[in-house]
Amino acid sequence: ESEEENFLRSPICCVMGHVDAGKTKLLDCIRGTNVQKGEAGGITQQIGATYLPAENIQERIKELKAADDKHMKVPGLLLIDTPGHEPFTKLRSRGSGLCDIAVLVVDIMDGLKPQTIESLNLLKSRNTEFIVALNKVDRLNGWKPCPNAPIIKAMKQQSQDVKNEFNMRVVQIVTQFKEQGINTKLNVNENKRMRETYSIVPISAKSGEDIPDLLSLMVYWTQKSMTEKLTYSNEVQCTVLEVKYVEGLGTTIDVILVNGVLRRGDQIVVCGNHGTPIVTRIQSLLTPEPMKELRVKGKYQHHSEIRATQAIKITSPQGFEHAIAGTALYVVGPDDDLEEVKEAAMEDMMKSVLVNNNKNGSSSTAGDGGVCAQASTLSSLEAMLEFLKAQEVNIPVRGIGIGPIQKKDVRKASVMLEKKILAFDVKVTPEAQKLADELGVKIFVGDIIHEVIKAYMQNLKEEKE
Ligand code: GDP
Ligand code: MG
């Protein structure tokens, strides 16, 4: 056990940026594969996760001077390609430390674009450190490719015109970052304090310039500055990234195991879309071949147990049809009470949905006002919350629920300042209705969100008169 105290897990790195900046191509280049060409229209359809073992990274960076005198302590890197900002925005489990470091890919010819700025704002709000990969340097007019070379070496091969254009574009991009309140600087080595000044690493995902430097920075920066966060823990920390039907396997979940060990046969609890958690057992633990992506069809390796950090596909006897992406997966241990785990799982998910809703919304929760919102599934609840948040409507929400309205939901609303429940596409049990009448809780039910809102507004007007 004492040996495990100092052992680091692999950092999780999210690759973000504007569409077409070259995120998928960069990962292809790192892996030496070609996912980008196989994607429909070259667009990343789903989240893909790739595990890079330390041996591969070491092989890749062996020509760098830094590799000689530094010891790699992390067992590898887990890279996540994102279609948008999914791993960030859709995370419904609280306090999730899914992304340890991000790579923000910027096209050197385009500079900062709207989605780059969105990514940047997400990173800022989550306090996540990042490296700017300034991609497509090979597109500079007259660039001479120098595959896998460090940028300093590659620059020496270039004409003065290329150097001038490069410098001019870097200055422009540094200025654009400055306008977003972010200090950036070229050249990793002299740039040691990441939080004050973020590193810009110029790369080409096409010809491979400076990829070794980028990898080396990811590894050495994380293991040096995030030792505590990266210290391996036996307590299972696992997030569902995707729920996906696979022929022959049924509905599977793709998870990121951040800490701990998963075993075949483990009893697990995953949040369900209908308000009840899914309790099942792990039937198989699957990973792609190393250096391949979880998303790519192909052979899987079967495991009896897997230790973090890894991206894993899990199957269960009854499938995961109603599982919710972005939520935590819980393992029921021998000393755990199943009912408690189930309750904790759903509560954690619901709290984070409410917190996220209020954080992103125009309506403030200042004061004690606010209604309860209830819908048949999490997806319809989230749609409803979007409507309530809209500027024309702007109804603050204090409590949420999924599934038919029961006595407990009425009791919850009865202790609030506004004793009102807006219910979309759900039934009200007769006992709940009876209790609501006794406690003075008003329930607005309907199959169309707008009508529920209209009825509520109408009532509000009547109350004021
Ligand atoms: P994503 O949307 O950020 O995942 O971008 P992709 O990886 O799909 O790349 C978008 C386009 O840019 C594709 O046509 C790539 O081949 C191209 N591309 C990506 N990186 C580079 C690069 O370093 N140099 C050049 N010339 N083209 C690139
Ligand atoms: Mg992509």
Distance 288 CA to ligand 1 centre (A): 24
Distance CA 143, CA 139 (A): 7
Residue 331 CB coordination number (10 Å): 18
What pLDDT shows up at residue 232?
95
Per-residue pLDDT reduced to its tens digit, 409-419? 999 999 999 99
Residues with CB under 6 A from ligand 1: 17, 19-25, 36, 42, 44, 135-136, 138-139, 204-206
Is residue 94 classed exposed, middle or buried when 0-12, 13-18 and 19+ CB atoms within 10 A define those classes?
Answer: middle
Residue closest via CA to ligand 1's atom 24 equals 136
Distance 53 CA to ligand 1 centre (A): 24
Yes or no: say if 155 and 57 are a contact pair by the CB < 8 Å rule. Answer: no
Taking the CA of 139 as reference, the closest ligand is: 1
Taking the CA of 104 as reference, the closest ligand is: 1
Ligand 1 atom at minimum distance from 135 CA: 23
Residue closest via CA to ligand 1's atom 10 equals 20
- Smallest CA-to-CA distance from 51 within 34, 74, 72 is with 74
Residue closest via CA to ligand 1's atom 25 equals 136
Strands (E), 328-391: 329-331, 371-375
Distance 313 CA to ligand 2 centre (A): 21
Which residue among 18, 23, 25 is best mutated to probe the pocket of ligand 1, counting the most ligand atoms within 8 A of its Cβ?
25
Ligand 1 atom at minimum distance from 204 CA: 23
Yes or no: say if 346 and 277 are a contact pair by the CB < 8 Å rule. Answer: yes
Yes or no: say if 224 and 213 are a contact pair by the CB < 8 Å rule. Answer: no
Distance 31 CA to ligand 2 centre (A): 14
Residue closest via CA to ligand 1's atom 17 equals 22
- Smallest CA-to-CA distance from 223 within 13, 2, 80 is with 13
Per-residue pLDDT reduced to its tens digit, 322-350? 998 888 999 999 999 999 999 999 888 88
| CB-proximal residues (5 Å) to ion ligand 2 | 23-24, 44
Ligand 1 atom at minimum distance from 44 CA: 4
Distance 85 CA to ligand 2 centre (A): 12
Rg (CA), the chain: 25
Distance 23 CA to ligand 2 centre (A): 5
Distance 23 CA to ligand 1 centre (A): 7
Per-residue pLDDT reduced to its tens digit, 139-149? 999 999 998 88
- Cα distances (Å, whole numbers) of residue 415 to 166, 283, 372, 444: 63, 44, 11, 17
Sheet (strand 329-331) strand order: 278-281, 267-270, 329-331
Distance 98 CA to ligand 1 centre (A): 26
Which residue among 18, 20, 46 is best mutated to probe the pocket of ligand 1, counting the most ligand atoms within 8 A of its Cβ?
20
What pLDDT shows up at residue 95?
43
Taking the CA of 37 as reference, the closest ligand is: 1
Report if pTM > 0.90: no
Is residue 461 classed exposed, middle or buried when 0-12, 13-18 and 19+ CB atoms within 10 A define those classes?
Answer: exposed
Ligand 1 atom at minimum distance from 21 CA: 3
Residue closest via CA to ligand 1's atom 16 equals 25
Question: Which residues in the chain land under pLDDT 70?
Answer: 1-5, 33-47, 65-69, 83-97, 188-195, 290-298, 359-368
How many CA within 13 A on the CB side of residue 326? 17
Ligand 1 atom at minimum distance from 27 CA: 7
Which residue among 36, 105, 113, 204 is best mutated to probe the pocket of ligand 1, counting the most ligand atoms within 8 A of its Cβ?
36
Distance CA 437, CA 434 (A): 5
